[in-house]
Structure 1
């Protein structure tokens, strides 16, 4: 990903953000591999999605500091144009739309990492993830909630450090 960002002459800020979200995504993926291996979450897909979800902001630079969703489709197109498979490039487009009927566990994990890296909790998103966990494990949602809430809370505790890391990089090249 570093090579692609360099080839795109990407500003330093999106690279810092993508790294932070990737590093956060490692935690729930590791947790799932150890505690819910039966879910079969695709580790590499989640980490790729976390590391590329905002790549379209290299095209729509104004969305680095302001709202907007044009970067989503642009990111998918950019990844496809650089030879990445559609099943991986999709994360650039799906990371903000987790309610679609074909949303995968991997999509939910990337979306969750993109929120919790800055300690933002989104109940609707977490409920969808909880439903997947409870369905796969056969446990009560409350049981899964307690575990997921603890995990996301611990991840959120490092938000100030991650935000400071990202802020240390300029928005423009």
Structure 2
């Protein structure tokens, strides 16, 4: 047998193995990228609702999905760390904290958009979300109701009861 014949046999035997391994590698890379995109899309969709469960979960997944060894992704992790540091900081006044929180979230989303090849600028990220006022009002009312109910259950508040039309019911 000639060398060409041996090379043909090796190619026939090894070719499918290489093709399968290459396919598995490409599928794995696609899966990793998809998880990053899901995080980004969730954060973009919930950026006006930063206390939603989905938003918080997506933030907490950044460390799991973005690679510290990749230069662009390392910038995402650094932006996340800075944002996380602010989220746990109670020494800043509420108004200043809110302004800084928005700026740091915008920076984080901008860095993510660059890694994931989305064409968003910071102004678009900051100003292009829709959050109806009624959602905020509803959330505030739900918080007040929960607090009030807890105060009643803890004995700190009583439920006011009043009777009316007592005389008309006697007739």
Q: TM-score range by the shorter chain?
A: under 0.3
What is the TM-score when the length of structure 1 is the normalising length? 0.26
- Computing the radius of gyration from Cα coordinates, the structure with the larger value is 2
- When normalised by structure 2's length, the TM-score is 0.27
Name the structure, 1 or 2, with higher relative contact order (CA <8 Å, separation 6+). Answer: 1
